[in-house]
Chain A
C-alpha cells in the first residue's frame, strides 16, 4: 500500500526550532516533498529531497533517509505566520504515472 505517517499536531513558541517527522511506505518511491497549507488556502511547495541528506532553503530544511523510509522538515526561527498545516508527500512512479501521495498533515501552532 501507500501510506505516510506524521504527527497530527505540534506546538512551539516564536523563535524556536521545530522538527516534523514523516515515515513513508510507498511503492515506486522517488523523492519526498513538503508542502505548507494555511487555513482555507492552497498547498504551497516548500522543499524536495530526491537524494539522501539535508536540503536547506532559508529558515526551512528537509532531510531524507531512504534506508529508513524517513524524512523530516526543520523550521527554524519560528514566526507566527508559520502557523499552518504541513504535509509530507511521497513522489511515486507507477507504470506511466507520476504522482504525489500526501500524508495526513501536521498542524503547527506557533505561540507568542
Chain B
C-alpha cells in the first residue's frame, strides 16, 4: 500500500503522560499536514510542512504540541503533558505541490485516535 500511513492507530494514555504519533506520507509528496478531528466536527488544521520546513503552526496549538519532519520524509507529532481535552483523532495528510498549481486534494491517513484518561 502506497498511501499515507499513521501509527499507532489507537493510543490510550493517562493525563500528564507524553505521546508521539508518526506519519509516513506518500513518498513523492513534499507537503505534509497535521489535523485534529473531534466527534461531529471537521478536521482542524494544526501544522504544515513543506519538505522539512515547518511553515505554519496553528495559533490554537499550545506549546505542549510539537511536530517535526526530519529530512522531509516521515513526520512526528508529540503531545507533552497530555490533558483530557487532547482526546481526538489526529489526522495526517500529504500532497504534491508544484508549478502545476493547487488542486485542493489532500491524501489522508486513517488517523491516530488518542484517548486521555
Contacts and interface: CB of A to CB of B under 8 A. Distances in A.
Interface of A: 4, 30-33, 41-45, 48, 50, 87, 89, 91, 94-105
Given A96-B56, A102-B44, 8 more contacts: A31-B104, A50-B103, A50-B104, A98-B31, A98-B102, A99-B33, A100-B33, A100-B45
Given A42-B111, A94-B56, A97-B48, A48 B105 contact: yes
Interface residues of B, number: 26
A98 B55 CA distance: 9
Nearest to A4: B42
A98 B97 contact: yes
B78 interface: no
A101 B41 CA distance: 12
